[in-house]
Structure 1
Amino acid sequence: MEPRGTRYRRSGLAALTALAFLAACAEEVRLKPLPPGTPAQSVQTLLVASARRPGTPETGYSAQRAGRPGFARFQISVPHARAPGSVTFPRGDRADPSRDFLIVSSETLTDEAAFVRALDAAAARQPPDRRGGMLFTHGYNTSFPEGLYRHAQMQQDFSGRQIAVNFAWPSVGRARSYLTDRESALYSRDALETTIRAMGRSKLTGFNLIAHSMGCFLMMETLRGIAMGSSPGVLDKVDALVLISPDIDIDVFRKEVEPVLRRRVPVYVVVSEQDRALGFSARLRGGMKRLGSVRSEADLNGLDVEVINLSRIEGGDALGHLKVGTSPALIAFLAGLKRSGTDIFTSRRGTGLIGSSVQLVQEGAKVILQLP
């Protein structure tokens, strides 16, 4: 019989090969400007904080690690004619605003103080009940354009009214660079903490923190440091922490989340049993289960977090790794919640989908909302 360690190493290699094949099928995504004189379609404004070095106009930010965080503001034209949950990346020399996500404008913000002023100005333009924020950070194997466009898509599809901040850490954007990405995520902890503290000092009434995949590991490491530090009060402004398909060892998560829970931050873990990417990650680690593969709170042995299991939601990305942002069925469901007065992007503790004791119950292809 083949030794167990050898089997796991071979299965891990197969997992990396499969991910690399999927990545090789896609052309590198670039930022492309809206053609001059062409009207934009729906426009989403994202403030950006980044641990990446500035790149070319086509990349925005590179995969290199920056010595200090950079800040910017982007406006993205989101086409009307597309399926919910989808992003059509501009390819080659083509720039079709009816089909593609395109850049309407971009502006570098000089420093952290300029970033806070931009947050304050955005908040001042909103009525008092809409001055909340939302920070989203991407996962492994994600270039800056991919992360920016995906954030704009989710903001558009969920009709997000919060002031949106995209935190971009220096993922290489290649499937074979998993270990490098993990180190870059750790490298980015200081930059993310700087960004969260800046949001805490701003005139935002509160904000949600949302992370995906390996970005959840970065988020938890950062929040643990804040919670255990000498000035954890900024977490009082965090309305909810949402971890989507988190690529984190469960035992490590327990150590990370306990000090955060002591600061009374509501924590939600979004999972799916069809998440093939986390299956690959577990195989790379000799079969160690990842947080995003749990089925319910019972798998977490008493941790005070809420698990939202989307396994029976149909559709989504090919790997089942970002179902919450790409499944047309789920997007339609959440849009229905919004029409009924429950907004996933509401930014006050105790209100909205991610700030109340809402349960999602899946029965076959149906999704039923149960309110207390």
Structure 2
Amino acid sequence: MLMRFGVVDDQDDPIITLLNDKSLTLSEADFFKQFKSTNAVKSGDVLLFVHGFNVKFEDAVKRAAQVSYDINPDLQPVVFSWPSIGDPLKYNRDFGRALDSIDDFEKFMLKLAASTQGKRIHILAHSMGSKVVIPALGKLYSSHSKLLDKKLGNIILAAPDFPRETFILKYKAAFSKFGRATIYMSSEDKALRVSSSTYLADREMLGFSGSDGFFFPGIDSVDITHAGGVDDLLGHSKYGSSARVLVDMHDMIGSNLRANKRKGFIVVPPYKYFFLQP
């Protein structure tokens, strides 16, 4: 069963949906009651997926289910869905909607953490989803660091559409202290090339590895440029289309290993920057 919590445009209350053979809209209390029930019988941890730009709800659910199953069928997938318009020409409007969802994600994380029963929450944020996750976790670390240390597993930022300079100035310290953060980046990510020049006056994005600013102590910086990927013409969705990246996430989550302990990497000195081999 895949569970989805999200903010829907033009509604004051979040819509909460359970997906199995059909969709059900539940109250928040019933959602977490059902989550606890499912969490109690699932043997694996929780994988919380936050989608990116131009992703409709149905597509986010399909991707979360696919990635979760490919990483480990025992994981309990949960989707936090922010209200993307689902139009490739509406980048700026999606940008605003992602920012408007930060507080909702922060509140949801606290409730989700309180509902897990001895299991960790692994977060996978793709693309513009990082604009929701990074600021929210930064705020939570300053106010609930003990809870995060206890409940959070791995934080995976896949092709993060987030200004690198802003991350360094405001959030690098918090994410370094987590000790379990990974950034998947690529020098051939065409989508991030466009977003960096369209909206933010050529500010380089965190998921683009085309500079020397990729190393952050305490954070695994993994270049997946040559990791392959099926039907990924933009080079922006390797986290879900590359078998090699999926295997790496399996090793990361299943064995709780940092990149320097996992297989298949070339380490680039002196930065300890990791290239994932095909």
* TM-score greater than 0.5 by the shorter chain: yes
Measured after TM superposition, the shift of residue 169 of structure 1 is 0.1
Whether 1:114 aligns to 2:30 is yes
Measured after TM superposition, the shift of residue 126 of structure 1 is 2.8
Provide the C-alpha distance between the structure 2 equivalents of 1:354 and 1:192, rounded to a whole number of angstroms: 26
CA contact (8 A) 2:82 2:97 kept: yes
Measured after TM superposition, the shift of residue 196 of structure 1 is 0.7
Provide the C-alpha distance between the structure 1 equivalents of 2:88 and 2:10, rounded to a whole number of angstroms: 18
What is the one-letter code of the residue matched to 2:201?
G
Structure 1 spans left out of the alignment, 5+ residues: 1-44, 53-63, 76-103
Relative to structure 1, the CA distance from residue 290 to residue 203 in structure 2 (aligned partners, 3 Å threshold; closer, same or farther) is closer
Provide the C-alpha distance between the structure 2 equivalents of 1:360 and 1:282, rounded to a whole number of angstroms: 30
Kindly report structure 1 stretches of 4+ aligned residues shifted beyond 6 Å.
none
What is the one-letter code of the residue matched to 2:209?
V
Identity %: 24
The within-5 A match list for 1:167-316 is: 167-204=80-117, 205-229=119-143, 231-236=144-149, 237-261=151-175, 263-284=177-198, 285-294=200-209, 299-300=213-214, 302-316=216-230
TM-score normalised by structure 2 residue count: 0.85
User: Residues 146-179 of structure 1: CA distance to partner in whole angstroms, max 9, x if unpaired?
Assistant: 1111112212333342211101001101011111
> Partner residue of 1:79?
none
Relative to structure 1, the CA distance from residue 359 to residue 73 in structure 2 (aligned partners, 3 Å threshold; closer, same or farther) is same
Measured after TM superposition, the shift of residue 246 of structure 1 is 0.4
Whether 1:51 aligns to 2:7 is yes
TM-score normalised by structure 1 residue count: 0.65
Provide the C-alpha distance between the structure 1 equivalents of 2:13 and 2:260, rounded to a whole number of angstroms: 36
CA contact (8 A) 1:138 1:168 kept: yes
CA contact (8 A) 1:193 1:222 kept: yes
What is the aligned-residue RMSD (CA, Å)?
Answer: 2.7
> Partner residue of 1:8?
none
Q: Larger % of helix: which?
A: 2
- Structure (1 or 2) with the larger CA radius of gyration: 1
Relative to structure 1, the CA distance from residue 280 to residue 228 in structure 2 (aligned partners, 3 Å threshold; closer, same or farther) is same
Q: What SS does the aligned partner of 1:175 have?
A: coil
Provide the C-alpha distance between the structure 2 equivalents of 1:199 and 1:329, rounded to a whole number of angstroms: 30
CA contact (8 A) 1:224 1:259 kept: no
Q: Please, which moves more after superposition, 352-361 or 192-201?
A: 352-361
Relative to structure 1, the CA distance from residue 67 to residue 260 in structure 2 (aligned partners, 3 Å threshold; closer, same or farther) is farther
Q: What SS does the aligned partner of 1:176 have?
A: coil
Provide the C-alpha distance between the structure 1 equivalents of 2:112 and 2:40, rounded to a whole number of angstroms: 14
Aligned length: 267
